A and B are shown apart, each in its own frame.
Chain A
Amino acid sequence: DAGITQSPRYKITETGRQVTLMCHQTWSHSYMFWYRQDLGHGLRLIYYSAAADITDKGEVPDGYVVSRSKTENFPLTLESATRSQTSVYFCASMTSGGVTDTQYFGPGTRLTVL
């Protein structure tokens, strides 16, 4: 009963490198989300996906790429990491986007870009 998992949990990388954060859910939820959380800010939505092969931008999409070839996976790629992308990243999923559906969050990935 893994639910929603993220890997790696911690990552240190250098400016300019490509980094991929993984998110996997076992519930077959239609919706998946990526957020970042920084001190002094609430969670901010980066990208979300309503189903396999359907993705849409959130509030802060610049510098990030997502894909969703399978319902259960939603990787987030930083194509050329910058120091401003140092943050804690949370993945979430939601059943079907119904009127009162709620989001379920993973444990987070702490990313440091040097």
Chain B
Amino acid sequence: NAGVMQNPRHLVRRRGQEARLRCSPMKGHSHVYWYRQLPEEGLKFMVYLQKENIIDESGMPKERFSAEFPKEGPSILRIQQVVRGDSAAYFCASSPPSSFGVGYTFGSGTRLTVV
């Protein structure tokens, strides 16, 4: 039973390029959460998605960032026109339905470096 799978593990992009981060939730999990970890800081919530729906995007920057979780395939976090300040570790977590307050399972993260 594979856990939450994220790829790539490491991603290097030049300023102005696009970054696509993928997350496949655990089997049976239909809820996906994206978090960002900046150096020397804790994790900050970005967005919560269910299949084909964005439920809470209150932590997403207003520009350049978008997320989706299609009916088929992984969840994608997309960052357009990346800047140096986007360099961070991006973690995806998943949970089953009705898991309110239970806790999530995290992936190993994608470490984005913008040069």
**Is B truly associated with A?**
no
Which positions in A face B, CB cutoff 8 Å? none
Which positions in B face A, CB cutoff 8 Å? none
